Amino acid sequence: MNGTVVTETDHPRPQGAEIAMLAIVLAAGAVLRAWNLSWGLPDVFEEATPFMVARTFWGGVGGTIGFRPDFFHYPALSFYLHFLVQGAQYLAGALTGQFPTIDAFRGQLETNPGGFMLAARSLSLLFDIGTVALGWLTARRMFGRAAALGTALLLAFNPILLEGATGVNVDVILTFFLVLALHQSLKLPGSGTARPFILTGIVIGLAASTKYTGALFLVLPALVIAASGLARRDGGPHHGRSTAGRALLVPLSAGLVFMALNPYILIDPQGFLRDFTYEQYHMSYGHLGLDASRTTGDFYLFGTLVPRLGLMFVAGAAAGAVISFARKHVGGISLFITALTYLVVISTWVMRAERYLLPAVPFLTILCAAGCVRAAGGASALLSRFFPGRNPGQKPLFTAMSLTVLAIGAALIVPVGESVAYLVESGRTDTRTVAREWIAENVAPGSVITSGPFGISFPPDRQVLYIPFVATGSEATAPFYDVRWYEDFELLIASDYDYGRYSREPDRFRDLLKFYDDLRSGWKLLAEIPSDSLHRGPTLWFYTPGTTGQAAEFDRSLLSRLSTVSDSALVSRFAQNLSGALYARGRLRKCEQILEAGLRFDPGNLALTRIRAYMLYKEERFTEAGELLTRAVREWGESYDLLSLHGDILLRTGDPDGAEKLLLRARDLRPGSPLPYTLLIGIYSERRDTASLIRTLERYRSIAPSETGESARIGGWIDSLRTGR
């Protein structure tokens, strides 16, 4: 096998015992991954980005299905795959009566995502088990049956793959396609047709359509072809030139597949550049809580590979690489260079995460298994030379098999231990589940809860005010971290999820750390839910304001600090959410202050303008509200909210004719909303305009819910008007 790529004919097709062993390994891997697959549910503590983006394709209740992601941080393939899974769930529910209408399904998808997450995680499980099977098939093709079985075992019990397979992410799907690309690439040297090149390109296109870094693996087929040429197994110069020509089909077909699956990159290039540029910034800047004392390469090698997979695994992969170079093994050389290239690339990023290693893990695993097998064979041959025995033909084979089993077994010790530890941890109750239960029992309905984005699922009858958080450049959010913003509300939740990371760099996050100091010194700690041997997740602290009382209005210095936040949209969302919570508490002066501040920093914000106008309306400051709404329509155009509110104001200020014009336009903009109908009915009743009243009632009846009897009541009213009774 020196200097060549093994073909299917170099090993007989797998038969009985070999297939049975693979089936056992795959079954064990599937059981391991399914063991705690429902962890945390029905609460959802993971980002689950592919699931969440796919959910938007359904359009929400009353919407329409569409496939524009408006999210380009990742390519779209994983979104579409999860949409298909959700579609299968809808069809199953429709057939069983669980979802009598598509809106019933949409409603459940929005309000109860946890009910759909098991199927979403199962998709990750299937792709990960597919990676194990492909790893076995590829290793068998390259290094033989013993290395194939070792690869399958090491992948099945790999804790990094296991963690990925029990969540919803793009990396597991990406890894599957990359191993498939490796398997396809091995068919390229010596091929006299274009088909394997096109198929390889298609697979890499699928990988790049899952995550942009998949495009890095376009180097893989080039390496396989180059290594084969250097080994002089390519059929001569002419054949080498023809192979190089066909090799161009790989990036061409990959590019076509990528664009076919991501057409909105061309339709919305500005949106793509915005999100892609942010990801570049994210990779180069990093995120909150990085250990600045260690490099990214150190994190991956000594912080992840060695502690999670063990020194024996790393040594086995290194041995596989050395032996491949020594024997000029095309596949082994290509494996090592591809994995090394990828590791070097991700090591240049400041941003680091264990899951970024996933694409390299199967490549290193095949090398490890091959290294164990080849090293065992070499050791066996050496032993037989010094201890020949009576049957020198049989003893080396038995010794080699025994040493191979020992080597693979030694490489499995750490991964198996880490996998068991992960399963034990994932089986613990999450602190955020305990938090939800505590809030349901101890916080009254209607209360306002202030919290960071910790993933807690709050009871629906509590209002939640989220403190702005960003993972990169977190110090810029310091103006939001002041206890005076939140002293009017019943509960504030803090966590070591943020505090622990801020405290690593006390000089940089001085202002943010003061927020936690103020909580400890001036607020009352109601409860603490620690992360311990019984609970996983972040430690959570529940505070309520102290007894010193709340100020009647915000300090001017507190409001002026908002001007230091460079992201005006962040200030706008904060002002919008805080004003609503303050209004619910009757803190009208503070509500007015934060709205004015928000509009001062973001004068073009329609949402803040609408809230400000509604507040003036509720205070019966109709003239000011009307002027604000007129200006808003002039600047941003007509919208249902602006027109209906302005129509109501005109009606209250004695201008029914002006109100009628605005309400008719509002009705046409949103025919399914009842407010314009009810106000128009009042106008026509007051005028005794029977014809207009009947027409309005007929349109209103078409949207009125029949189950409440409203539709029948309106019908009776129409009949009485027509008969004159």
Instruction: Assess whether 445 and 550 both reside in one domain.
Output: yes
* pLDDT tops 70 at residue 549: no
- CATH no. for residue 717? 1.25.40.10
* pLDDT tops 60 at residue 365: yes
Instruction: Assess whether 443 and 561 both reside in one domain.
Output: yes
C-alpha atoms less than 13 angstroms from C-alpha of 89 in its C-beta half-sphere: 23
Work out the percent of the chain whose per-residue pLDDT is above 70: 92
* pLDDT tops 60 at residue 8: no
Instruction: Assess whether 555 and 447 both reside in one domain.
Output: yes
In a domain, 213, yes or no: yes
Instruction: Assess whether 559 and 623 both reside in one domain.
Output: no
pLDDT band at 725 (very low <50, low <70, confident <90, very high): low
Long-range CB pairs of 346-350 (<8 Å, 24+ gap) are: 346/213, 346/296, 346/300, 347/295, 347/296, 347/297, 347/300, 348/296, 349/283, 349/284, 349/286, 349/296, 350/283, 350/284, 350/285, 350/286, 350/290, 350/296
Instruction: Assess whether 439 and 570 both reside in one domain.
Output: yes
Task: Supply the range of the domain harboring residue 717.
Answer: 604-723
Q: What is the mean pLDDT of residues 684-698?
A: 90
* pLDDT tops 80 at residue 391: no
In this prediction, residue 68 carries a pLDDT of 93
In a domain, 68, yes or no: no
In a domain, 593, yes or no: no
pLDDT band at 308 (very low <50, low <70, confident <90, very high): very high
Instruction: Assess whether 461 and 567 both reside in one domain.
Output: yes
Q: What rounded mean pLDDT belongs to the chain?
A: 89
Cis peptide before 530 (omega within 30 of 0): no
In a domain, 395, yes or no: no
pLDDT band at 528 (very low <50, low <70, confident <90, very high): very high
Work out the percent of the chain whose per-residue pLDDT is above 90: 59
Q: What is the mean pLDDT of residues 538-566?
A: 88
- 3-state class percentages of the chain: helix first, strand second, coil last, to nearest 5: 70, 5, 30
Pairing of strands 491-495, 540-544: antiparallel
Instruction: Assess whether 435 and 544 both reside in one domain.
Output: yes
In a domain, 139, yes or no: no
Q: What is the mean pLDDT of residues 510-516?
A: 93
In a domain, 275, yes or no: no
pLDDT band at 390 (very low <50, low <70, confident <90, very high): low
* pLDDT tops 50 at residue 627: yes
In this prediction, residue 547 carries a pLDDT of 67
pTM, full prediction: 0.84
Q: What is the mean pLDDT of residues 300-320?
A: 95
Q: What's the pLDDT tens digit per position in 140-182?
A: 999 999 999 999 999 999 999 999 999 999 999 999 999 999 9
* pLDDT tops 90 at residue 524: yes
Instruction: Assess whether 441 and 562 both reside in one domain.
Output: yes
In a domain, 651, yes or no: yes
In this prediction, residue 440 carries a pLDDT of 94
* pLDDT tops 60 at residue 113: yes
- Please report the DSSP string for 267-327 in residue order: H-HHHHHHHHHHHHHHHHH--TT--TTS-HHHHHIIIIIHHHH-HHHHHHHHHHHHHHHHT
Q: What's the pLDDT tens digit per position in 215-237?
A: 999 998 888 888 777 665 444 44
Pick the last residue of a domain from 193, 228, 262: 262
| Orientation of helix 145-156 relative to helix 114-143, angle to 10° | 160
pLDDT band at 91 (very low <50, low <70, confident <90, very high): very high
Q: What is the mean pLDDT of residues 417-438?
A: 94
Pick the last residue of a domain from 262, 282, 315: 262
Pick the last residue of a domain from 236, 262, 288: 262
How far, in Å, CA of 87 to CA of 596, rounded?
45
Instruction: Assess whether 528 and 624 both reside in one domain.
Output: no
Tokens of 81: 């795959």
Least confident segment among 192-201, 375-384, 512-521: 375-384
Instruction: Assess whether 555 and 608 both reside in one domain.
Output: no
Q: What's the pLDDT tens digit per position in 634-661?
A: 888 888 988 999 999 999 999 999 999 9
* pLDDT tops 60 at residue 393: no
Least confident segment among 127-141, 351-365, 412-426, 460-474: 460-474
How many domains, in total, are found in the chain? Answer: 3
In this prediction, residue 707 carries a pLDDT of 65
In this prediction, residue 230 carries a pLDDT of 67
Three-class HEC string of 362-419: HHHHHHHHHHHHHHHHHHHHHHHHHCCCCCCCCHHHHHHHHHHHHHHHHHHHHHHHHH
Top-confidence residue, 52 or 703: 52
In this prediction, residue 548 carries a pLDDT of 59
In this prediction, residue 408 carries a pLDDT of 94
In this prediction, residue 15 carries a pLDDT of 76
In a domain, 461, yes or no: yes
Instruction: Assess whether 569 and 434 both reside in one domain.
Output: yes
Instruction: Assess whether 438 and 500 both reside in one domain.
Output: yes
Q: What's the pLDDT tens digit per position in 294-307?
A: 899 999 999 999 99
